[in-house]
Amino acid sequence: MNMTTDAGLPSPPPGKVRSYVYVPAQTGALSYDDWINESVRGRSFASSGAVLFFTVNGYLPGTEISLNSADGTATVTVGVDARWMHGINNISIMVNGKQAAYMFGNYQEKVVSSWDIKLTESSWISAKVEGKPFDYYNGDAHSGPVYVTLNNKPINSPEDAEYFIDWIDKHIALLDSIDQFGTEAHKQRTFTLYREGQDVFRTLADTTSIAMVESKSAGRFVLFPNVPNPFNSSTLISFELPEHCHVSLEIYNVLGQQVKKVFTGKLDRGTHKFQVHLEDVGTGVYFLRLTAPQGELTQRMLYIR
């Protein structure tokens, strides 16, 4: 893997926090598209000094891992390699925004460690490093998350979504203060993608985000949030029908153009699930629309290539 901030973005001046991204090993110069695609996926860490390598079961930040367990729990191995020439003070492993593991670095220049973390629910996992401040740098670093889906249950709770909304705000403020984009178009595209991501998390943060219509017949008309969300390969769509009826399930882009017809036909009353793959579309926000005699329901989805 290459790690760089050079994709059309000159290094920020001393004292500024840097945003690093992981991109697949390649030859030749990195482009803005390389940087933004991996940054949107969360394959990154922000730093004001320390360099942070972080994995969960060997997977880098921005990766989605799907696990299944009969007892509803799973253990993952978290690895950290933190380096800062002025010394690492401590390392924290965060699960759903809460500290799950901690260790002192004793101000060593390089700290390598691993933890076995038990999960009892679908979770996002990240790492934080506090380094010894020096000159303009506070020495800290924070990784992007690895998403772990347990038994196909949603990862994000409303509290988690609020955390990411705030995190994106801080990241946008950081990029705006540095203002080292190659072109104004690159800057606006970057901010648009981050804001679209916030829209998805705002939907998740709303406790009424499950799209639902109470039916006069004995049952509910419900479109659940897709799992996982965001997703980069496939996602599970679930909905509930109050009666036997004709339905259509489609996906649209932000321009209102249909990009995929998932299903059209008659289905029985009850819960139905579809595993959906998106091909030949770009990273961004899409809208899942379920139409039936009871009405029309919509959910936002964030697809990351």
Q: Of all residues in the chain, what percent carry a pLDDT higher than 70? A: 77
Domain boundary assignment for the chain: 41-152, 211-303
Domain 211-303 CATH (choose: 1.10.10.10, 3.20.20.70, 3.40.50.300, 2.60.40.1930): 2.60.40.1930
> Is the pTM above the cut of 0.85?
no
| pLDDT value of residue 42 | 65
- pLDDT at residue 305 is higher than 80: no
Mean pLDDT of 29-58: 77
Fold match between domain 41-152 and domain 211-303: yes
- pLDDT at residue 36 is higher than 80: no
Going by C-alpha positions, the residue among 4, 83, 7 that lies closest to residue 49 is 83
Q: What is the pLDDT of residues 249-304, one digit of tens each?
A: 999 987 788 899 999 999 988 888 898 988 778 888 888 999 999 888 888 888 88
Residue 61 to residue 115: CA distance in whole angstroms: 16
| pLDDT value of residue 203 | 62
Residue 165 to residue 153: CA distance in whole angstroms: 21
Going by C-alpha positions, the residue among 297, 285, 275, 225 that lies closest to residue 253 is 285
Decide: 9 and 20 in contact? Cβ < 8 Å.
no
Higher-pLDDT residue of 16 and 246 is 246
| pLDDT value of residue 111 | 94
Beta-bridge partners for 282 = none
Q: Helix, strand or coil for residue 35?
A: helix
CATH superfamily, region 41-152: Macroglobulin (MG2) domain (2.60.40.1930)
Over 150-215, what HEC string results?
ECCCCCCCHHHHHHHHHHHHHHHHHHHHHCCCCCHHHHHHHHHHHHHHHHHHHHHHCCCCCEEEEC
Q: What is the pLDDT of residues 189-239, one digit of tens each?
A: 878 877 777 776 666 555 444 555 554 444 678 888 888 888 877 888 988
b/e map of 142-177 (b: 16 or more CB within 10 Å)?
bbbbbbbbbeeebbbbeebbbbbbebeeebeeebee
| pLDDT value of residue 224 | 84
